[in-house]
Amino acid sequence: MKKIITILATLMLTTMSINFAKAEGFAVGVTGAYNMIEADGQETEATVSGVTSEITKKSVSNNVFTGSVFGEYSFANVSYANSGVTFGVRYTPGSADVSDKVFSRTDTSTGADVAAEADTGTYKAQAQVEKYINYYLDLPLYKSLYVKAGWSQIDVKTQESATSTTIGSYGDATLDGINYGIGVKGENGNIVWKLAYEATNFDTLNLTSSTSNKIKADLDTSEVNLSVGYKF
């Protein structure tokens, strides 16, 4: 991760002498991104009379490459930096695993726990994120350097399985998030490009299973991306 940020910072410094994209107009294009997904969560089993609820905590991560499409409109010469503000939207189809592997645990009930919970069994858990959409605003800083702020939304699909019926099943959820980043951009004729580092902090995920177990998780993503588009 530190190596990626160092490379990106070097590229930003070497391209700051390039004039920022100044032509006003609408652009469409594609983005390739290297994404780093991190999640911290816990599952709390339903409270049963006479038995303390079991809590299982886990931190997971995964790194994936994704592709997306974007459309944006830039306003020319509207700031002190002699460059424009850009409004845009970016959509990433497909899905990615939150963890780089499926996690499994085996529970064995003993004593009073057997009668109260009967939760002996093997549990497997994984989750996917999909249909990421990002509405954003690019603000110029100096020459080709800009900062980005936006609002994002993503779908989370749980993929749990168990040999015991006490765990139940969880539904899916849609999370909102705040997106921010920094990058460099420029243009060559009608071709526009961006190189950026971005991060998104999503709202806390809260789900309740069909057997009243609860999941609470915090999902964050960061990425290095390169966008290339055509300005009309």
The residue extents of the domains of the chain are: 2-38+57-98+129-150+163-231
CA of 143: how far to CAs of 23, 57, 130, 186, 224, in Å?
14, 46, 35, 9, 20
The answer on pLDDT for 87 being more than 70 is: yes
The answer on pLDDT for 79 being more than 50 is: no
Strands 191-202 and 214-231: antiparallel
Give the model confidence (pLDDT) of 110-169 as tens digits.
544 444 455 555 555 567 788 899 999 999 888 889 999 999 999 988 766 554 555 667
24 vs 101, residue with greater confidence: 24
Confidence class of residue 60 from pLDDT cuts 50, 70 and 90? confident
Q: Report the greatest alpha carbon distance in the chain.
A: 75
Confidence class of residue 39 from pLDDT cuts 50, 70 and 90? confident
Contact 10, 4 (CB under 8 A): no
Check residue 166 and give its pLDDT. Answer: 57
Tell me the mean pLDDT in the region 30-34: 96
Tell me the mean pLDDT in the region 176-201: 94
Give the CATH fold of the 2-38+57-98+129-150+163-231 domain. Porin (2.40.160)
The answer on pLDDT for 2 being more than 60 is: no
Structure tokens at 144: 């080709």
User: DSSP labels for 105-168?
Assistant: EEE---THHHHHT---EEEEE-EEEEEEEEEEEEEEEETTEEEEEEEEEEEEEE--EESSTTS-
The answer on pLDDT for 20 being more than 50 is: no
